Structure 1
Amino acid sequence: MPGPYVVPVHGDAELPEKVDVVVIGGGIIGSSTALELAERGLSVALCEKGGIGHEQSSRNWGWVRISRRDPREVPLMAEALRLWSNLDKRVEAHTGYTRAGIIFTCETDRDFAEHERWNRNLEPYQLESRMLSGAEFKAMFPDSRLDIKGALYTPVDGRAEPQKAAPAIAEAARRNGATVLTECAVRGIETSAGKVSGVVTERGPIACAAVVLAGGAWSSLFSGNHGLRLPQLKVMNSVIRTKPLEGGPDQAIWAKSFAVRKRRDGGYTIASGHENVVDIVPKSFRFAADFIPALRAEWHSLRFRLGGRFFDEARIPSRWSLDEASPFEYNRVLDPQPSKKLSDAALVELTQAFPAFAKAEIAQRWAGYIDVTPDAVPVISAIDSTPGFHIATGFSGHGFGIGPAAGRLMADIVTNRTPIVDPGAFRFSRFSDGSKIELITGF
């Protein structure tokens, strides 16, 4: 099953001998980090094992939201909203970004009260967000058949096109001096006197003083080869893309049974509002204790399955030397088969809620693997045990919208600048320093 068409980025032919920073991973996080560093005058090599933005960065829903975020992410997302507003001008390209608003529906009085409580997280930021009554929702969408108690409506939220954003940011990094290397897997890092001194790629070595691992769902495997335990698992989400359709909502809308947002081409991206597939793999057992609180909280929304993926991952080596081909060279792009059952069910529920979708024509289906941490909060952190090594991963399905600000925060940490927000909640050491790992549900 081919993934979505992504704006192509052609990699540079020449491998630099030495740079200040190597960024591993060409998704929106890695590309944003590379752009930030390049704009600050550092020499950067952005290394991607496949194509820029070809995994989850192009397969997500395209939502740019602060609403219903884990409160620990809210300060960083507030910065992201500011960065998105000027991003097209900054990268000299169209990312499809627009502030059209996002609506989270409330089926019950309890849902309404919970959303209302969450909305207090935005009070310090003076961002427009308010509760709608059921009648106000009906007035906004007179053709809707949803019978709800109300909704959380955040007009400052928006959307962008995942197939365009990471490529545009990577090209902007290149215009600012970065080297962009595609089909160029990094096998591992090299150290000297305990500090990062370079990386080894499949095309040869690059000397550097700092490395940022923004490898998405591959980050735990890469880290493990260097003796770092990064608890991270994959969750699969399936998406439908429709052909252009008249009469649908302009705002993105979440309901328990569906999530929908309008695309730049007039079509819609549609997915289940809460159901995802979790393949049982060897790491499911390795990290089981870490994820028990998350499983207890989200059990109702996860569809576990045991199949071929278990054996596929069992065959992937967990250790390799830097003079041999790495696992990343044998699997350039994670392109899972989507769940037709879940996405079709979402379209049926959406059509019942908004009859205009009875005329929707399916143009494409795809799925993507979301890289999830036990508390569903990312790691954006220096690694104390290996000076010069940094990790930006585990965005748990929230990475696309927060990407530009995550890149800025990671660049702040690499360059020892005052960070745009307190990075404490995102520290890697929280998984090993005895901190209570808390999943705040509902986001």
Structure 2
Amino acid sequence: MTDRAPHTDPSHTPRRLFSRTSWPEARFLADVLRTETVGGGLLLLGAVIALIWANSPWGSSYEALGDWVPWSGGKALHLDLNLAAWAADGLLAIFFFVVGLELKREFVAGELRDPRRAALPVIAAVGGMALPALIYVAVSLAAGGDGLQGWAIPTATDIAFALAVLALIGSHLPQGLRAFLLTLAVVDDLLAITVIAVFYTDDFSPLPLLAALAPIAIFGLLVQRRRTWWWALIPLAATAWALMHASGVHATVAGVLLGFTVPVLRGRDGDGHGLAEHLEHRWRPVSAGLAVPVFAFFAAGVSLRGADLGAIVTDPIVVGVVAGLVLGKAVGIFGSTFLLARFTRARLDEDITWTDLLGVALLAGIGFTVSLLIGELAFGAGSAADANVKAAVLAGSVISALLAAVVLVRRNAAYRRIAEAERVDADRDGVPDVYQRGDG
């Protein structure tokens, strides 16, 4: 396998996959990567603390903290939730609000606005979700069919965790490949939100759901008119969240819908970026630095004290989740991209190899936040099956990260020189010259 695709006459060059994005998009991507990388580190820290605490002699205090109900009087409003549930249903709504903003921006002004560029991450995301689900279902059916409701657990990619690992092992990968991972995760999140809303909604009540549309509509009206009054928007968002929660639909869906209402483009002529990017810049640190790490702290604390490790390792749920994350994600993403290139006669960008894509496909097997959330929805928080799901998600994510490291560390050194060359700015105008040559 060569390090670069052969040079061809530009007039006859086929469409390139993972080509460089525009300079404004590259700057935005760099900001997102920095925030998500820090957030991934905090997520990992929260998960490690939870694991240590849950398996220490003081493990019972960890369980008691998660089970504590701060507002027992909220039963009438379905808000008598313990801290762990508040982290999963409440704080993750901030995470999904940022996802909604990101999705809106990608479809209006980002990589997904161009159908030709959008085809790759969309097809890769679908392949990277379908194959893990099929593997899980096959393992479950072979074992008798128990646990089939967890089919969606290995389908999600945790972008914060994946980018944190990428920053450590592949900091000099080409920008087009890093953009692909981010866009892939955005599409992955959209599909995961759809799966949660459609397949993991119990005790559905239509009236609260219809009522939730009113505060969402008012929120949308205000932001469309650039009325960013926090004293109005935050209560409206909280009301929409509470009504969504009461409807039986997972409350985090409210965050996505609120994000969808925010305008993306600025100005009458639609140039530049507007309120969506502003709010994303403001709320992403809250999501990555607080909401996701706190959720990870309450969700990752699986206790293995006195557990039968042999029974856990051979549990079909564990086997299906680990196989789905490690094999399903990698083969699904790599295979769908390869087939797209084969049938469209597209080629990889000249600075990218199939080995690089394999490393990123393995990295997408890091499924944490949404995988743990789906596990709780599928089997019930605190159940024996949920504990095994946590162990499986942790194991599958670690294995995927290690395999990705094996592939990408060797490539990272080669790309270091390329990255240094691309940062050259001979005319000192603040824009790297590589984005001014007509190929960016």
- Does TM-score exceed 0.5, indicating one fold? no
TM superposition score normalised by structure 2: 0.27
What is the TM-score with the length of structure 1 in the denominator? 0.26
More strand by share: 1
Give the structure, 1 or 2, with the largest relative contact order (CA under 8 Å, sep 6 or more). Answer: 2
**Which structure: greater helix fraction?**
2
